[in-house]
Structure 1
Amino acid sequence: MMRKYIYIIFASIATAFILSACANQAVYRQSSSPLTSVSSVDLNRYLGTWYEIYRLPNWFEGTDCVTVSAQYGLRDDGNISVLNTCLKKDGPKVANGIAKVVSGSNNSQLKVSFFRPFYGDYWVIDLAEDYSWVLVGEPAGKYFWILARQKQLDPKLEEALLVKAEKLGYQRKDLIKPSNSL
């Protein structure tokens, strides 16, 4: 009986901590226009490995990540497996999650969870025709990533993506760029 109460107390504290961290996340997007996702995403082309080129600061990703990658795969239940890896100088830190497509979004909006039952928005807001880069955000303006299939981008393409981000209301000064050297 005592174990049950301890579990309930622990679960309550953990839930409160996660909700507090999410609620305290800063809003970085400054725009009066609502954020929109692309019209559709071919999930088969989207699956695979993506490298983080830039991100907004967030509570779950440390500044000591040298290389950050996300591996997306199709699960047997039709959802998407998510494996995020932060390579640090002293080794990797991984997080396993699940993503579900938002009905009616043509695969351009997902709900992602690393702490079920809590899900966050993951919107594909711009995407290269060849699926070589993507801009990902969510409507509240708290999270944003520039991801690419390669660890490094051509400087001209990188600059063009930063300009796109600025047009969407994200400030260049707020973005963090991992070195992607490991």
Structure 2
Amino acid sequence: MRFLRGYIRRIDAMNRRIGRVMMYGIFVLMGVLLWSTVSKAFFVPSLWTLEMAQFVMVGYYILGGPYSLQLGSNVRMDLLYGDWSLRRKAWFDLFTVCFLIFYLCVLLYGAVSSTAYSLGYWGTEPFSFFGGLVTGAEEIGHMEQSSSAWRPYLWPIKVVMIVGFVLMLLQCLSELAKDVLRLKGEAI
């Protein structure tokens, strides 16, 4: 039980810090969109603003998601759930978080595969590709770029997605541990 409490404390603290920093990402997004508006009105329109706004929004959403889950501010159907006892909520959350963990594992596999592809890997084993990059057995190939006029490399935003999915997975495991402690009747 001490291990679970330590895990919860560390993961919650890490995701709280990251989430609090990412809350200010909305101001970065507003700045990019403001510059887009000003440049279109008074100067030559900037090519990078639309895609940069999309990239900032992805980071804001994906890296802020674990903090949102931690706070319980995610969307949930509260027709029955709000009237349940803490024990019944813990059982229901324990059951449903398993589906979320499975879904996040699928998303993580897709993000790793997509990131490997964006780094020029054409094979079917993306995890071994990244292992090969670390050991020097693999090389980065022709890197994927956006098809827009700005043509940024896509691997940085895909790495952000991997980090976000890992953080969300860790937070889901923290929520699972909280439910287990609640069901055992122990304080969190």
What's the TM-score once normalised by structure 2's chain length?
0.24
Return the index of the structure with the highest Cα Rg.
2
Question: If each structure's helix is expressed as a fraction of its own residues, which one has the higher value?
Answer: 2
Q: TM-score, normalised by structure 1?
A: 0.25
Greater strand proportion = 1
